[in-house]
Amino acid sequence: MAIASGGAAAPVTSKLQVSAGEIIVDNVSKSYGTGIFEKKVVKGCSFTIERNKLTVMIGPSGCGKSTLIKLLAGFEKPTTGNILLNGKPVTGPGRDRLVVFQESALFPWMTTYDNIMYGPIARGEADQKARDLAEFLLDKVGLRDFRSKYPTQLSGGMQRRAELARAMINNPEVMILDEPFRGLDAMSKELMWEYYSALFEESHRTNFFVTTDIDEALFLADRLIIMSNIPTRVRATIEVNIPRPRKLADFFTSERANEVKMTALSLLHEEAMKSFSGGSKAAADFVDSYARRSEQKA
């Protein structure tokens, strides 16, 4: 069951195994408005979401990550540059790239099971195989007893899990997750990390995960992309190189984890400082002391 690393052709014998895609973001810029009102949100952004890997993007909040996700999903078009999925340009939304949103976008009028089955029914593929897969996923995300509950009857964490299952049943070539665990309490959040990484370790599909939480990024990532503040561009890419399956219990005490965390934090620190330039000295001091404290711990 355990797969050591997500190589390009990892032999996975799981129900969740699918052909995984690769996204290349090539010199993409996005701006809103024209003339003097033009605001560049993304500027000359280039990176690759590698096949079968979990790529985590981290950056200061409000740095245009959500804009980037809209571009990847095809909800919006880049002003300049190209986004290629398996070498072909992305022209609009499609089931090959599924987005799991910040806050639950489960349909409130459908039960958990109906929500999960939405995709297969929409495409006329709701056969026995799809129903079996739905059952399998209900088990995987621990919602078997909540299958006929409506989203409002589920806790925040359950809603996120239902949403993961609803996305995964469609076997997307790339899963895009936009801060999916934001707003959960610390305990549920860590539980979600374990659920989610176990799901990933089982399927090894291409995942693109956006977050502002350094621990979350570290625990989940194969590759870590660190973004700069607006206009968004790639600041650095780090290959995490920590073997899977990962367990939360001893993960953060490992030397490699702390090494990556320090590198990432110092880069993020620089970026955060930029947004304070000429601004509040107190805020800058706070960021500074946070970085120093982390260094001492390490």
Residues in touch with another protein (CB under 8 A): 73, 75, 93-95, 97-99, 101, 105, 107-110, 118-119, 121-123, 149-153, 166, 170
- Kindly tell me which of 13 and 152 has the beta carbon lying closer to another protein: 152
Minimum Å gap between C-beta 75 and another protein is 6
Minimum Å gap between C-beta 88 and another protein is 17
- Kindly tell me which of 86 and 294 has the beta carbon lying closer to another protein: 86
- Kindly tell me which of 166 and 182 has the beta carbon lying closer to another protein: 166
Three-state helix/strand/coil letters over the chain:
CCCCCCCCCCCCCCCCCCCCCCEEEEEEEEEECCHHHCEEEEEEEEEEECCCCEEEEECCCCCCHHHHHHHHHCCCCCCEEEEEECCEECCCCCCCEEEECCCCCCCCCCCHHHHHCHHHHHCCCCCHHHHHHHHHHHHHCCCHHHCCCCHHHCCHHHHHHHHHHHHHCCCCCEEEEECCCCCCCHHHHHHHHHHHHHHHHHHCCEEEEEECCHHHHHHHCCEEEEECCCCECEEEEEECCCCCCCCHHHHCCCHHHHHHHHHHHHHHHHHHHHCCCCCCHHHHHHHHHHHHHHHHHC
- Kindly tell me which of 104 and 229 has the beta carbon lying closer to another protein: 104
CA distance 89 to 284: 41
Minimum Å gap between C-beta 50 and another protein is 21
Minimum Å gap between C-beta 152 and another protein is 5
- Kindly tell me which of 19 and 27 has the beta carbon lying closer to another protein: 19
Sign of CA dihedral 85, 71, 60, 216: negative
- Kindly tell me which of 136 and 150 has the beta carbon lying closer to another protein: 150
Minimum Å gap between C-beta 174 and another protein is 11
Minimum Å gap between C-beta 21 and another protein is 14
- Kindly tell me which of 7 and 108 has the beta carbon lying closer to another protein: 108
Minimum Å gap between C-beta 243 and another protein is 32
Sign of CA dihedral 105, 97, 173, 102: negative
